[in-house]
Structure 1
């Protein structure tokens, strides 16, 4: 063997050794991880969400993270606020033979009927955030919602105690999901919680949860004959629109502003600055967590409550630092310290608050003289 060939072979051997060492150093699953993966129940979950919304997105993101961590697969579909699309989503889930369906429904009556059909096919159905209306003798497998009544009641009570002559406008969310109706009932009861106030609601209109709609609604109200100085919005996405309109008209600071959510990018900035007075802390990240826990125990054959409310509290400048994280990553980082990390800490809803059918389907501004 000539000298040059010998040197070349030595170099090749060295390269092979290096590559072998590099390959051995790659991170591989431990036997423990493989065993855990083998033991974890493989579930296919169909998740149908009403549309794109900060609330829906936060809840869905936490649920999907926890589900995938448990070894489940999640088929995520949006309904785009369409009953027809929601039905298509559910039909696809049934065709895929999912182990369960989880819904944030766009229409409570439609989802109630579809629940009955899915249950007949042996598919468990769960809900979060929205309140389905079921046919007689039909029940979902489990439900998690915010106590929407309290999200309206707490700001209303604050106004009754502190703004005793307030003339209020309600810029509400979408109708026929149960959330808006309960929120308004709570607000109306809240402003009547003391005997020494003269708080009134002078107008209400739907902003459909969206900033542009809320802006249009407020522009319309400001140009009307209605006199008011207090505004409650059904979520903080609409509050962003309210603040923008008031800023454009140089009216910011002349209105008392209240809302519901507890988002750090909205109330987390507007309350400390004095732009907003208070909001109901109702981070939907909690709901994604709680419904995952209920579904996990359901699959494990453990007894589970039928309906659980996620916690709600009023946030003001005094306690804004206690807001539940909306960012899914931050929520999951802090999860072990939060009451929602174990649904056994929460009270089961034995008698869900009813909401009145006659509060549905408002399409125009309602002025109250």
Structure 2
């Protein structure tokens, strides 16, 4: 982790930004507790929690058994009693053992108790493919959780957004599923001021202004989406690029305004095509922006198949060329 002369300024990767945010939250709020498999002594599989047990002790950075249902259930109980647990599920493919606790208890707690109890719980999970991992280590099943009322689903796409969104998630009075795109854990570095200030949840971020076509994505796929926008710009095609960041609840108004301006939209997701978040955004655009659309909405997605094993993984992942091809298709009427 690089450090500038200003002691609060760092040049960090996304995973280092997560570590900084967790460290800041532990320092600022005694109610914050971390728990998960191998997060303490080993610092986590991806070293997102490295050094935190040594600095804050085993009572606040807790190594748990290999039992995702227990991790989630314990976290729900802690959250309803005034603590702010941040639980790690080692890979998103392992989260299904915790599904019942998240969906039936964490997400329903405020409604079930008519507001008497809150559930300020964050569940962190590395997700997505691109690192040549074995089975159950490369899932992108965010749409399953985006369907659940009472549960926020947040996905950062850069170090600065990982830092700010995680801090806000920890302070949120309701449960947040915080999905970290592991393919870009160490892809880029950004200058980050460790100020303790969060970024707004439930908000899309417009990363690039344009007039010809709107590109919408989140997580690791933002990398290819921005690359596509840069290459299209060389041909005089101006893309407006939107990072959804919080896929549930969705800040649809930001997307709607952009598409009303450009008249065209490409939505990029790594997850399978059927029933995905891209489908939801596309449906809403059809309902509200039909008279503004100059061409059908295009989706660039993964396949309706299990993520392949490492040697064929690259064939599954949406690529920059795929996004450019979709943009050219939707721009053919220019």
- Structure-1-length-normalised TM-score: 0.28
Higher helix share: 1
Q: Which has the larger radius of gyration?
A: 1
- Structure-2-length-normalised TM-score: 0.31
